[in-house]
Amino acid sequence: MSAPSIDGYLSQLREQLAWRGEVDDIVDEYGDHLWSAFEAAQARGLSDADAAQEALDRVGPLDTVTHALQDGGADRYSLPSRGTRLAGIVAMIAGVGWSLVGLGWFGAYFRPGTWWGHFQAVLFPALPGLMILTVVGLAGVLFRVSRPLSARAGVALGIGGAGALVGVAEVGATPFWCGLLAVSTALTASALRGRSTLRCPVGSRTLLALWWAPTIPAHFLLQLWSDLNVVVIEAGWSIGFVSLGLGLTMFGRVLWGERVADRPAPTPLAAA
């Protein structure tokens, strides 16, 4: 059995969807549909060429299929670009930075007088820049998930930008800029629940959505009870910042590791 047109179709499909991590599964699924339709047409007495053409007609033109597989829902598309890959690098840098801040925070309160204890004093002035890098990394995730940006994505970036501005203006107001950053990361994580072609581990989404849980609630609630809870509060800040760092690093690795799509889908997709 030979149908060069089907083989060529699948080869082009693989090439155009090489940026998707599950490209092999996608091509295999379309191949099953095509060959099943081809065999059914042959059984009705069609020639190989006619059977192959009928199978291809049933699946649809290649452009339509590839555009549909870039669909992010609501007339948006979801695919990697050079910009999202660069944002992945920024997210990894921010992730490493937040992890170091968390470790330095721990050292400042639990290993004072040591090099570890002095580490936080070195990192603290860098927090405003770290917040800006974080917002850029989040922007990369949101643009990768859906273009044009959804209203939720716009709100997430706006709140994150506000948090960065608060941090630049008053870096010591940790609960305030941290709260704004927490809302921004949680909204970004929630955006991944839609029809996105971005595939990230569940753990990375959880870290991005809930890294703040040991920080702000503990900061305000435990202060009401006892001075002894200062240890728990500071440990919570340390755990929270390390968690944020790990989440951003994982997302950054995914963004950077993707291949740039050769051809973006038109906007809106319905026009494809």
- The residues of the chain scoring below 70 in pLDDT are 1-4, 16, 18-22, 66-77, 115-119, 194-197, 218-229, 261-272
φ, ψ for residue 72, nearest 5 deg: -100, 5
Summarize pLDDT for 1-29 with one digit per residue, the tens.
345 588 888 887 777 676 666 677 778 88
Residue whose token pair is 């630049």: 168
Residues 165, 142: Cα–Cα separation, whole Å: 20
* Global confidence as pTM: 0.74
Query: What does the angle CA 76 – CA 21 – CA 62 come to, to the nearest 5 degrees?
Result: 60
Sheet strands (E) in 94-214: none
In DSSP notation, 75-99 reads TEE----HHHHHHHHHHHHHHHHHH
- Token digits of residue 241: 């910042």
Total residue length of the chain? 272
Do 136 and 87 contact (CB within 8 A), yes or no?
yes
- Token digits of residue 171: 């870096």
